[in-house]
Amino acid sequence: MIQLRDVHKSFGKNEVLKGITASVAKSEVVCIIGPSGSGKSTILRCVNGLESYEAGDVLVEGTRVERQATSIQAIRTKVSMVFQRFNLFPHRTALENVIEGPIHVKREPRRDAIARGHELLAKVGLAGKADAFPAQLSGGQQQRVAIARALAMQPSAILFDEPTSALDPELVGDVLSVMRKLAEDGMTMLVVTHEMTFARQVASRIVFMDAGQVAVQGFFMHNAVGMWFTPMALGTLADGLGLRLACLFLLALPAVGALCFLAARTLEFRRLPLREAERKRKRGSG
Ligand SMILES: Nc1ncnc2c1ncn2[C@@H]1O[C@H](COP(=O)(O)OP(=O)(O)OP(=O)(O)O)[C@@H](O)[C@H]1O
Ligand SMILES: [Mg+2]
């Protein structure tokens, strides 16, 4: 669905992407994690053609993304982007923000766009907020309008650039649960985030960036083995401690049982000669 092959990008003398190779398959959720300035946003911007690159290939559904190309508008309708700071039009209502793209870019009939706009606002938990302006909404609600706006373009994939990092902690959960639901519905997602719990629960793969390079790239295993190892790999030891102790206990039970059995058998063998001697003694005295 999305492929980056040895992508290089510089701002003047500052090479910010030093040969990035990564991919996102259909219905896959890939999280990008890394320190500030490592090139995470630049990757997303190259994928939807907001930024050009000097070498390598960025492909969306097999089409090369080139900023100057006439195909760029088509690519942007395939790949929507959700930004850290929502980027809603402040003078338009939530619904107007959502229907803007379908009407003006995709040339959909206004009535259809409005009907789907209402559906999408309901989907992100904002059914009653269609007529509210961004200033009348909380940060979390604005971000959910931005997600509805991204969905309105009926994209093949959505790029998220730290969608919760500008939010107060109590508003993060609602946005993440909307994203979790999208992932469950099979949306292809490339997500720059610092939310490790979200990444661990939802991502099928994680890309660690460092200074313009992919430092580590790994799969998440959503099973007991993966739950055991990934928190350790990610350094969130306390996170999985309870689960690990439970796993240890379960694994240890059969081992302890086997040891007890062996010990009993060994004692039995050791006692055999004694019992034989006892039997002989009894026979002799009888
Ligand atoms: N338009 C630009 N002009 C010049 N330099 C830029 C531009 N955009 C980004 N950079 C530089 O490119 C590098 C990577 O920036 P990028 O925004 O991709 O990092 P990031 O990993 O997303 O960081 P953060 O976590 O802070 O968002 C940084 O050194 C940044 O200063
Ligand atoms: Mg960034």
> Which residues surround ligand 1 with Cβ inside 6 Å?
11, 16, 34, 36-42
Could you tell me the two tokens for 232?
Answer: 């350790």
Give the C-alpha separation, 175 to 126, whole Å: 12
pLDDT at residue 225, rounded to an integer: 52
More confident residue, 85 or 283: 85
d(CA 148, CA 182): 11
Query: How far apart (Å, rounded) are the C-alpha atoms in residues 2 and 195?
Result: 22
- pTM, two decimals, is 0.78
C-alpha of residue 14 to centroid of ligand 1, in Å: 10
Degrees, nearest 5: CA angle 115-84-40: 120
Instruction: Considering only residues 76 and 232, tell me which one the structure prediction assigns the higher pLDDT.
Output: 76
- pLDDT for position 234: 47
Residue with the smallest CA separation from ligand 1 atom 3 is 11
Whole-number pLDDT of residue 238: 45
If you compute the radius of gyration of the chain from its CA atoms, what whole number of angstroms results?
28
DSSP-assigned beta bridge partners for residue 189: 29, 158
Higher pLDDT, 250 or 116: 116
| Cα angle 231, 232, 237; round to 5 | 75
Provide the residues around ligand 2 (an ion) whose CB is within 5 A. Answer: 41
Whole-angstrom distance, CA of residue 168 vs CA of residue 7: 35
Ligand 1 pocket test, candidate residues 41, 43, 50, most atoms within 8 A of CB: 41
* Strand blocks (E) in 88-212: 157-161, 188-192, 205-210
For residue 210, the 8-state DSSP code is: E
